[in-house]
Amino acid sequence: MSSVLPAFGPRSRGEGGANVPWFIALAGFAAMYLPVYLAAATGIWQTDDNAHGALILAVSLWLFWTAREGVAAAPMAPSRVAGGILFAVGIAVYFVGRAGGVLMLAIASQPFVVAGMLLSLRGPGALRAAWFPVVYLIFMIPLPGTFVDQITGPLKQWISVIVVELLYRVGYPISRNGVVLEIGQYQMLVADACSGLHSMYSLSALGTLFMFISRRPSLLHNAIMLASILPIAFVANIVRVVVLVLITFHFGDEAGQGFLHGAAGMVLMLVALAFFFALDWLLGKLLVRSRNTGEAS
């Protein structure tokens, strides 16, 4: 945000004073959220589950920078009431989060605060120009613990069943007891981190960013890509668990729990992105061919 807001005001020398509200808004935003970012950087962003938060922040800054010309070109039609309401909601959520020590709420207040600032200082056109960066801030919000607990259990069960079925069919001596996999002399617990929920969240952020940058003209193309994000993330996580099981079986428990365990996380990301790019390429070919066939007939 720091390199964006001042660029939103008029750029002529005679109108330079109109940038003052943006500088004030920027200073207020920095005073509110720099402590939040610092707390996250020394806390939740240090964990595997929420390590993507810092990346989302960096991408969001870049997205706002790319949207600056569109915001500057938007008609000057401030919407004080709507902007004030959104800003007030954001401030209320922020202070509840800060007072209660709930970092998730403080982070969650950002889209409301930024949307309120854009509406109040420039108008609906500015919010339309920057709608994706504003929405993208949602991916910075950590998933609530209760939601994670409710979803993680079923995901671990499904992944355990699928992994055992796949490896058993190709001849590996594998079985399971709940979410504990037994292969050879080794036992492996499909832990919460292996459920794939947080990887689905981070991959959803990557997938939506890719779709926004690609800007495919076909509504059907975009709809299929959007619907594919979670299934692709789930399949990629199955590949990750299979890799970990095979590493443990062939190279021992130390290899499975050591460096190669972290490398399996990279495998997940690469596999998911490969599936996503391949689907995008395939849809592009099929939809173009279908459109050409329709035009020819």
Backbone angles phi, psi at 174, to 5 degrees: -125, 145
Which residue of the set 128, 240, 289, 291 is catalytic?
240
Cα torsion 91, 93, 99, 104: sign: negative
Active site residue 194: yes
Q: What is the 3-state secondary structure (H, E, C) of the chain?
A: CCCCHHHHCCCCHHHHHHHHHHHHHHHHHHHHHHHHHHHHHCCHHHCCCCCHHHHHHHHHHHHHHHCHHHHHHCCCCCCHHHHHHHHHHHHHHHHHHHHHCCHHHHHHCHHHHHHHHHHHHCCHHHHHHCHHHHHHHHHHCCCCHHHHHHHHHHHHHHHHHHHHHHHHHCCCCEEEECCEEEECCEEEECCHHHHCHHHHHHHHHHHHHHHHHHCCCCHHHHHHHHHHHHHHHHHHHHHHHHHHHHHHHHHCHHHHHCHHHHHHHHHHHHHHHHHHHHHHHHHHHHHHHHHHHHHHC
Backbone angles phi, psi at 177, to 5 degrees: -130, 95
Which residue of the set 194, 215, 216, 291 is catalytic?
194
Q: Which residues are catalytic?
A: 194, 240
